[in-house]
């Protein structure tokens, strides 16, 4: 079904942003634009990798799709209203929204139509027009299409702040359930590999802001029989070998009019546990083997993975907070990188002596107490006195 010819630009943009909750990117929550003729469009209040908060427009360039992914609302055989912009028209519209202050950055993706290479060229042309014609200097997250060429990847790396490739599944068997027309190795893993090769082999002097963009991927969770161990193993591999800075996990929820419409939705807590596990792998020195799984390969839903590890390894052998090195302190529930650095800074000035002072400084919490000692004494008992 096609409405492009009779739609206004705002109506098209409304349609193209409607399903973008299915594309997790940055740390976003949904928020409508202010009224004034644009209330139908949605933007996201996003937290960028550097911590900056912006109003991020998340949109497709086109929702016409030749792919028939079994879970996707945009699959070619699904009857739905569709729309598309040309690169020039979209760039002009975005520039007006940006100059009006309604948006500050953009996440730009597309359905695949007339082949991945032509679709990627349209995304690249749009990004180039924004950067060169309209002198847009804000945040640009650009999606890489499955099957894009290496030269297109390099061109994207000269324009964007972040690139992403939707892996969708952790192995070929699961991908066949979700997207049987896609090849995991050549369509999805190869672009991520090329991004890292370019980072390592070429100077970023011509890149946007003189540095190469970060890269991310996304998994659909719970539709294809994949386990948490499957997903996290692939995530860890990509972080180590392809340099991804972030993995996103999207809980499967069936969409009417797709072949998987009768498949049960994924438990939302599973997605949350995967995110917790990812940050342990990326920022806390954990390995895949450190995490506790049920025999079936799934993380426990009832307890976060860090607490599950600590219950097994620290509950009966608490860490001495005055002696434990950084890598051990990071494994204590309630202690993140900033708190650990502050504890180490205080230790360099002398022995820590008071649980009450540490709690007052918000360096330890009730969650931390069962797993640490201070000068050989249990935090549980000491904190109970205050």
Confidence at residue 321, expressed as pLDDT on a 0 to 100 scale = 93
- Bridge partners for 28 per DSSP: 46
Domain boundaries, the chain: 4-211, 314-383
How many other C-beta atoms lie within 10 A of the C-beta of residue 362? Answer: 9
Confidence at residue 43, expressed as pLDDT on a 0 to 100 scale = 85
**Residue 285 corresponds to which tokens in the numbers above?**
């020195």
Q: Which residues contact 192 (CB under 8 A, 6 or more apart)?
A: 165, 167, 215, 217, 238, 242, 244
**Rounded Cα–Cα distance for residues 65 and 110 (Å):** 9
Angle at 95 between CA 2 and CA 207, to 5 degrees: 105
Confidence at residue 380, expressed as pLDDT on a 0 to 100 scale = 58
Confidence at residue 359, expressed as pLDDT on a 0 to 100 scale = 87
Number of residues that this document lists for the chain: 386
Task: Quick: pLDDT tens for 84-95.
Answer: 999 999 999 999
E strands along 131-285, which residues?
139-143, 162-168, 214-221, 246-251
Confidence at residue 5, expressed as pLDDT on a 0 to 100 scale = 55
- Bridge partners for 319 per DSSP: 372
How many other C-beta atoms lie within 10 A of the C-beta of residue 18? Answer: 19
Three-state secondary-structure class, residue 217: strand
Confidence at residue 381, expressed as pLDDT on a 0 to 100 scale = 53
Confidence at residue 261, expressed as pLDDT on a 0 to 100 scale = 96
For each of the chain's 386 residues, which pLDDT tens digit applies? 454 556 789 899 999 998 888 888 887 544 444 444 444 577 888 888 888 999 999 999 999 999 999 999 999 999 999 999 999 999 999 999 999 999 999 999 999 999 999 999 999 999 999 999 999 999 999 999 999 999 999 999 999 999 999 999 999 999 999 999 999 999 999 999 999 999 999 999 999 999 999 999 999 999 999 999 999 999 999 999 999 999 999 999 999 999 999 999 999 999 999 999 999 999 999 999 999 998 899 999 999 999 999 999 999 999 999 999 999 999 999 999 999 999 999 999 988 888 888 888 888 888 999 999 999 988 755 544 44
Please give the class, per CATH, of domain 4-211.
alpha beta
Residue with tokens 């027009």: 129
Confidence at residue 49, expressed as pLDDT on a 0 to 100 scale = 84
């Amino acid at each position: 079904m096609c409405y492009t010819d009779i739609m206004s630009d705002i109506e098209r943009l409304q349609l193209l942003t409607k399903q973008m909750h299915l594309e997790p990117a940055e740390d976003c929550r949904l928020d409508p634009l202010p009224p004034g003729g644009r209330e139908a469009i949605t933007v996201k209040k996003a937290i960028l990798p550097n911590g900056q908060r912006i109003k991020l427009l998340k949109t497709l360039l086109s929702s016409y799709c030749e792919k028939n992914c079994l879970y996707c609302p945009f699959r070619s055989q699904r009857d739905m209203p569709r729309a598309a912009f040309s690169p020039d028209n979209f760039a002009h519209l975005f520039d007006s929204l940006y100059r009006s202050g309604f948006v500050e950055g953009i996440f730009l993706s597309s359905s695949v139509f007339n082949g991945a290479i032509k679709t990627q060229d349209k995304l690249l042309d749009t990004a180039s027009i924004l950067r060169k014609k309209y002198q847009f200097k804000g945040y640009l997250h650009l999606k890489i299409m499955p099957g894009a060429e290496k030269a297109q990847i390099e061109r994207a790396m000269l324009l964007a702040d972040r690139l992403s490739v939707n892996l969708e599944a952790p192995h070929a068997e699961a991908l066949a359930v979700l997207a049987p027309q896609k090849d995991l190795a050549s369509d999805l893993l190869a672009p991520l590999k090329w991004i890292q090769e370019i980072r390592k082999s070429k100077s970023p002097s011509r890149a946007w802001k003189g540095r190469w963009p970060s890269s991310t991927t996304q998994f659909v969770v719970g539709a294809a029989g994949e386990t948490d161990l499957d997903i996290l193993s692939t995530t860890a591999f990509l972080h180590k070998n392809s340099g991804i800075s972030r993995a996103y996990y999207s809980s499967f929820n069936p969409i009417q009019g797709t072949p998987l419409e009768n498949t049960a939705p994924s438990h939302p807590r599973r997605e949350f546990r995967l995110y917790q596990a990812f940050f342990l792998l990326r920022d806390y020195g954990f390995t895949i083997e450190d995490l506790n799984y049920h025999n079936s390969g799934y993380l426990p839903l009832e307890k976060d993975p860090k607490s599950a590890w600590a219950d097994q390894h620290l509950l009966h052998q608490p860490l001495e907070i005055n002696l434990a090195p950084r890598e051990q302190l990071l494994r204590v529930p309630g202690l993140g990188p900033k708190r650990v650095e502050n504890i180490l800074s205080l230790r360099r000035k002398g022995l820590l002596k008071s649980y009450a002072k540490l709690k007052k400084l918000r360096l330890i919490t009730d969650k931390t107490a069962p797993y640490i000692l201070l000068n050989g004494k249990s935090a549980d008992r000491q904190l109970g006195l205050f």
